[in-house]
Amino acid sequence: MPTAHKKPVVVVTRKLPDAVETRMRELFDARLNVDDKAMSQAELAEAAKTAHVLVPTVTDRIDRSLISQFGPQLKLIANFGTGVDNIDLDTARVRGIIVTNTPGVLTEDTADMTMALILAVPRRLAEGTALLKDTRRHWPGWSPTWMLGHRIYGKRLGIIGMGRIGQAVARRAKAFGLQIHYHNRRRVSEDIEQELEATYWDSLDQMLARMDILSVNCPHTPATYHLLSARRLKLLKPSAYVVNTARGEVIDENELARMIEAGAIAGAGLDVFEHEPAVNPKLLASDRVVALPHMGSATVEGRVDMGEKVIINIKTFLDGHNPPDRVHAAMF
Ligand code: 8YV
């Protein structure tokens, strides 16, 4: 730990909102990334040699090799983000390093984005706007059979992962008249099921075969990697839509792209991709895919709240207490 006169060194790997950086400067010897250029593994290793706390984001790979190069004074990884699949939690634990994240504050924003995609794909929003904005194409005017999408009211929504975000999606979807179905490691409480009028499926396979729209809202862990495998994607109805605002790795992206191209899946709304920032070109080429560059929690309010959570976790830890958002591998 730093002495009473010296502020702790906190390395922040990406540019954060101004208000967050200002507060970090006041509290810590904050090493900020003003250019917001993603740091290489070598740059991360160099910075982590002298840091007391590391604040990474989803774009940093905090793996075993990197952690082994940390200086012995580095005892906290305060992730700016809820998903911690970018961090080797087991190695951190073995080295006595605490990991925290930022749960809760991005729930509503991510659920909004999920709902936006649930609406955008069946109703062809991106296609419609692209057409009007393309000056090479001419809109001849309204026609009764033109740009027809599909109604979402009354359809079945299957939510994979009924945690905070899954439930927030269900609340919104219910207001739009969708029937809520879900698959989760554990069944949620009866109260929540009743509030959401949600049907639990113990068997993911059986749920998949019956859904009109699927929403992925579970974390990426070794157990959920390619949960929607080629075999499972084939269980979907050809009229089904897939929405993913969680992590790309949960879906076999190549197979999804192939099936959409072949007309075996009706379309997809994707905010996350398996090999970010790369996106399968077949997905980008398809009119039936609405693709967004990982914007689920991208609101000014959300990012400030995330920064505030990071600061609270660091402060609490440095004051000798258990930080509120400590994560353990067993939680995922
Ligand atoms: C963040 C996210 O933008 O928090 C998460 O898990 O996926 C995103 O909403 C990103 O992870 C920040 O590191």
Reduce the DSSP state of residue 136 to 3 states and report it: coil
Distance 81 CA to ligand 1 centre (A): 4
CB 187 within 8 A of CB 158: no
Distance 246 CA to ligand 1 centre (A): 9
pLDDT of the residue at 4: 59
Atom 2 of ligand 1, residue of closest alpha carbon:
81
- Whether the CA torsion 25, 306, 273, 230 is positive or negative: it is positive
Mean pLDDT throughout 318-327?
A: 98
Taking 90 as the threshold, does the pLDDT of residue 265 lie above it? yes
Encode pLDDT of 272-313 as tens digits. Answer: 999 999 999 999 999 999 999 999 999 999 999 999 999 999
Taking 90 as the threshold, does the pLDDT of residue 330 lie above it? no
Distance between CA atoms of 131 and 143, rounded to whole angstroms?
15
Q: Give Cα separations from 159 to 114, 149, 170, 265, 269 (angstroms).
A: 11, 22, 8, 17, 14
Distance 82 CA to ligand 1 centre (A): 6
Burial class (CB in 10 A: 0-12, 13-18, 19+), 41: middle
Encode pLDDT of 62-109 as tens digits. Answer: 999 999 999 999 999 999 999 999 999 999 999 999 999 999 999 999
Distance between CA atoms of 53 and 64, rounded to whole angstroms?
17
Atom 7 of ligand 1, residue of closest alpha carbon:
83
Encode pLDDT of 247-262 as tens digits. Answer: 999 999 999 999 999 9
Distance between CA atoms of 65 and 255, rounded to whole angstroms?
31
Encode pLDDT of 17-54 as tens digits. Answer: 999 999 999 999 999 999 999 999 999 999 999 999 99
Taking 90 as the threshold, does the pLDDT of residue 328 lie above it? no
The residue behind tokens 């001849």 is 140
> For a substitution probing ligand 1, which of 59, 106, 304, 306 has the most ligand atoms within 8 Å of its CB?
106
pLDDT category at 329 given cuts 50, 70, 90 is confident
Taking 70 as the threshold, does the pLDDT of residue 3 lie above it? no
CB 135 within 8 A of CB 195: no
Burial class (CB in 10 A: 0-12, 13-18, 19+), 128: middle
Distance 305 CA to ligand 1 centre (A): 12
Show the DSSP H helices in 141-219 as ranges.
164-175, 190-196, 204-208
Distance between CA atoms of 133 and 117, rounded to whole angstroms?
20
Distance 84 CA to ligand 1 centre (A): 9
Instruction: Tell me which residues have their CB closer than 6 angstroms to ligand 1.
Output: 57-58, 80-83, 106, 296-297
> For a substitution probing ligand 1, which of 297, 299, 305, 332 has the most ligand atoms within 8 Å of its CB?
297
**Which residues does the annotation mark as catalytic?**
247, 276, 294
pLDDT of the residue at 331: 76
Using a pLDDT cut of 90, give the percent of the chain over it.
96
Contact residues for 17 (Cβ-Cβ < 8 A; gap 6+): 300, 303, 304, 307
Whole-model pTM over 0.75? yes
> For a substitution probing ligand 1, which of 12, 58, 109 has the most ligand atoms within 8 Å of its CB?
58
pLDDT of the residue at 332: 74
Using a pLDDT cut of 70, give the percent of the chain over it.
98
